Each structure stands twice: as structure tokens, then as C-alpha cells.
Structure 1
Amino acid sequence: MGFELRLATAQDLDFARDLTCKTMLRYYIQHDLLWQDEAFDVAWAGHESWMIVRDDVRLGYFSLSRDARALYIRELHVLEAFQGQGAGSWAIDQVLAMTSKERRPALRLTVFENNPAKALYERKGLKVVGADECFLRMQRDVEASYR
């Protein structure tokens, strides 16, 4: 597949914001939520973000946060032209490896209930553990043998 990760920099903010808006705006509209660039920028500054690249071309990114209970995927987006080529699946595998390496008990994320990415998350072992309005909370426990 040839995917690589690199830590995101301030120069990646515009790419990440534009990609997220492009991929998520339909869900915001469907669920009567307001997209705000400023809110994205604040969240970006507070999260650890990684660029998914191939041959120095940005294909997407993910953002993470942590607490004692879990590693959280806050954002995971892949350019439409590269969807279905394994980049998202590969990225989740990288985050699962981080979860194990950091000895976190679980990997967690939140997804819009009608987002087809839910199927990918389920294939990667995440299960729905709760729901809020239009969101599903998903989790995969990290087995002790991996920690």
C-alpha cells in the first residue's frame, strides 16, 4: 500500500480543515448542526494530528486525544479520490498499534449514525457502546496480551 505517517504541522491546518468540511458538511446539514472553521481550528490546536501520506502526497489525516481510559480518534478523513484504497483501514491499524504501545485500555471514537465509515470501524473491531442524538460512540478494548 505504501502509506506513511508524519506528524502534522501548522502548514497542514488548511488541508485538514478543508478536507473535514468537505467530507462532513453533508452530515452537519442533515443533522442541523453548524460547521464553524474557528471551532475546527481550536480543536486542531488541542489534538495530536498525523498526516497519511504516500510519496509525499497528503491523502488524509487523523487527530487523537487521550485520557487514562482510552486513546480517542477525534477525526479521520481521507480524500475522496483515495477512499476505498485501504488508507483508512491502514490508519486505524496504526492507531490500534499506538493504543497498545501506550498501554491504553481502549480505542474510542464517535461517528455520525448514518456515516458509512461505521462499517469500516466495525470491521476493525470497534463496537457501538452508546448513542447521543445523531452520534454513535464506538470502542474497541485492547486485550491485556497486547498491552
Structure 2
Amino acid sequence: MIELDFKPTENLAHAATFTLNNMQPYYHRFDVNWQLDDIVKQTLDLTNWDIVYASNVIGVMRLSFDEQACWLRDIQIDPDFQNKGLGAKALDQAVALANASQAKEIKLKVFKISPALSLYQRHDFKTYQEDDRFYYMVRTLAA
């Protein structure tokens, strides 16, 4: 079993590279022309966590918080480490951080065509809204 560590991100450009690489199929399909600098700018005000395995950064997780909710903005895992249960471990960490912040719920949006949709459904996220591209999902947290 792979053990992960989560550390505050020190290199936003490196973290943004995971997003840029992993999201290219979605950007192409939906005609989104984002570059590395765009992603860095969008993530500056988020809580960014490196996902670390064996002293190597293998992914990134991003959160934001408001009065009611923790927003899971991103989980990106290096393709060499995907499909090994690491997304679920990152999601568990996001829920723990949301609980520690006393958020009442955790919210996210996910592309309708994303394989991550089944992960979120398995972890009790429910769709509360949708549009052409996204499902907007929520999971109520224990009080």
C-alpha cells in the first residue's frame, strides 16, 4: 500500500504543471486555452497541498474555504500513480481538512466526462446542480 504525505506547496509552477498536463484532454475538448501562468494565477489564493510519495511530489490538491463550505478545487495525480487509490486518499485528506476547519460541507465541480466522477459518488458526494460540462457536487460533513 502506498503511503502519502501532504505538505503545503512551495512551488506553484510545479504544482500547476500537474494540472496543465492532466487537464489537456478537457481543455482541448472544451476549447480552453489555459497556459501554465494562467493556472498559477488562478491558484495563488487557494490552499495548495503537494501530494508526496517517497519524498517525491506526485500530485497536488487545492482547497478554498468560505463561511459554510470547503471547496475542493483540484486533485491532480501524476499519470504514473493514477488508478492506485491515491485520489481516494487525497479526498480523505481533503475531508479531514474540511472537518478541521469546521466546514459544514465540502463542495466541488467535476467534468461530466471525468473518471473522477465515480470516485466522488463512492465517497458520498451528491449532485446538486449541473450544466453542459460540469456536475456540481456536495457532501455534508459531520457536525
Considering the TM-score relative to the shorter chain, is it more than 0.5? yes
Deviation by residue 1:59-86 (Cα, 9 ceiling, x = unmatched): 1010111101100111110000001112
Give the corresponding residue for 1:73: 72
Query: Greater helix percent: which structure?
Result: 1
Give the corresponding residue for 1:99: 98
Aligned Cα root-mean-square deviation (Å) = 1.2
Q: Residue type of the partner of 1:138? A: M
Contact map agreement 2:13 2:40 (CA 8 A) in 1? no
Give the corresponding residue for 1:64: 63
Instruction: Report runs of 4+ in structure 1 exceeding 4 Å deviation.
Output: none
Q: Residue type of the partner of 1:14? A: A
Q: Residue type of the partner of 1:15? A: H
Unaligned stretches of 5+ residues in structure 1: none
Counting matched residue pairs gives 142
Deviation by residue 1:16-67 (Cα, 9 ceiling, x = unmatched): 2221111111111112222233321111211110011111111101011110
Determine the C-alpha separation between the residues in 1 that align with 2:17 and 2:37: 12
Unaligned stretches of 5+ residues in structure 2: none
Contact map agreement 1:106 1:139 (CA 8 A) in 2? yes
Contact map agreement 1:52 1:87 (CA 8 A) in 2? no
Give the corresponding residue for 1:38: 37
Determine the C-alpha separation between the residues in 2 that align with 1:22 and 1:135: 20
1:1-147 matches, cutoff 5 A? 1-9=2-10, 12-144=11-143
Q: Residue type of the partner of 1:142? A: L
Report the alpha carbon displacement of residue 114 of structure 1 after superposing the two structures with TM.
Answer: 0.4
Contact map agreement 1:25 1:35 (CA 8 A) in 2? no
Determine the C-alpha separation between the residues in 2 that align with 1:59 and 1:85: 12
Aligned-partner SS, 1:136: strand
Q: Residue type of the partner of 1:7? A: P
Q: Residue type of the partner of 1:125? A: D
TM-score w.r.t. length of structure 2? 0.93
Report the alpha carbon displacement of residue 124 of structure 1 after superposing the two structures with TM.
Answer: 1.1
Aligned-partner SS, 1:46: coil
TM-score w.r.t. length of structure 1? 0.91
